[in-house]
Amino acid sequence: MTAQNERLAARLDEAARQGEATWQPSEECELSVADAYAVQEWAVARRLKRGERLVGVKMGFTSRQKMAQMGVDEAIWGRLTDAMLVPEGSRVAPARYIHPRVEPELAFLIEREIPPGAPPETITSAVAAVAPALEIIDSRYADFRFTLADVVADNASAAGFVLGAWQAVPSSLDCRGVLLEVDGRVAEAGSTASILGDPWRSLVAAARLAGRAGLPLKAGWVVLAGGATAAVPLRPGTLVRTVVESLGSASVAVA
Ligand code: 0L1
Ligand code: MG
């Protein structure tokens, strides 16, 4: 860890704690994507030192549109801690975030550890259950503006997640309709096919990317596979719900 990366990690961690935007590392220095992952690891380590626990990983840039927009051909990943979990059906205070958005996702529950380098064909059998989920993303940068390295350093904008009821693993997960509702009205409609063509691919990518950092996907961890539609702002006083075809729903009220 270089002094520069350590300083960036501290600044990003502090921005998240205070709920105040900060400037992008790319505005002040050259940051490679490898360095950005080191910053992410260090920033999350600060959370762990305060008593938070790692409970999984999230995938980002899993849709073709977002990859094209960022000029990348690989998804990114971030780390989830227990403090980010917003209990399903509970009320979340938007004031704890900077400019939160919410997007519908699919979550995997890992049953048996997936070690770095695990063959892709062994990965599906390591999953205990799947669930509809909501992810709250909150870039620590003003106006959600960032380069690829900036957003990787910022833990892929991870801020919160809501899990619906876990379901038995179905034989296929692609092409399921997904709705994102705000106060009962459809705000966005999409499909699980937007998640790397099939959410299982996203899980395989999560195992590969976390494995590259020497991190196994541990038993009991959650993997958020990626957004199935565009994200919408998390507005005070609303009820946000996602419904995933044949899988159920997940919801959160915004205080
Ligand atoms: O979960 C996501 O796909 C978001 C990744 C980070 C980019 C963003 O904040 O939009
Ligand atoms: Mg997401």
pLDDT (tens digit per residue) in 84-94 = 999 998 999 99
Greatest alpha-carbon span in the chain: 49
In CATH, the architecture of 3-254 is: Alpha-Beta Complex (3.90)
Over pLDDT 90: what percentage of the chain? 94
Which of 105, 135, 151, 178 to probe ligand 1 with, by most ligand atoms within 8 A of CB? Answer: 151
Question: Is it the case that residue 55 has pLDDT exceeding 80?
Answer: yes
State residue 90's pLDDT score: 92
Residue of 83, 90, 79 whose CA lies nearest to 164: 90
Question: Is it the case that residue 4 has pLDDT exceeding 70?
Answer: yes
Q: Tens digits of per-residue pLDDT, 98-115? A: 999 999 999 999 999 999
Where are the chain's structural domains? 3-254
**Mean pLDDT, to the nearest integer, of 3-30?**
96
Phi and psi torsions of 85, nearest 5°: -70, 125
Tell me, using a 6 A CB cutoff, whether residue 135 lines ligand 1: yes
CB atoms within 10 A of CB 20: 11
**Mean of the per-residue pLDDT values of the chain:** 96
- How far, in Å, from the CA of 26 to the mean position of ligand 1? 17
**In which residue are the tokens 């950005």 written?**
36
Question: Is it the case that residue 228 has pLDDT exceeding 80?
Answer: yes
Strands, E assignment, 150-210: 158-163, 177-182, 185-191
**Mean pLDDT, to the nearest integer, of 124-133?**
97
Continuous segment of H or E residues that includes residue 174: none
d(CA 241, CA 234): 11
Question: Is it the case that residue 1 has pLDDT exceeding 80?
Answer: no
Q: Name residue 63's amino acid.
A: S
Q: Considering only CA atoms, which residue is closest to atom 9 of ligand 1? A: 157
- Report the residue count for the chain: 255
Tell me, using a 6 A CB cutoff, whether residue 227 lines ligand 1: yes
- Ligand 1 atom closest to the Cα of residue 224 is 1
**Residue 26 DSSP one-character state:** G
Q: Tens digits of per-residue pLDDT, 144-190? A: 999 999 999 999 999 999 999 999 999 899 999 999 999 999 999 99
Tell me, using a 6 A CB cutoff, whether residue 139 lines ligand 1: yes
Q: Considering only CA atoms, which residue is closest to atom 1 of ligand 1? A: 60
Q: Considering only CA atoms, which residue is closest to atom 5 of ligand 1? A: 60
d(CA 242, CA 182): 9
Tell me, using a 6 A CB cutoff, whether residue 60 lines ligand 1: yes
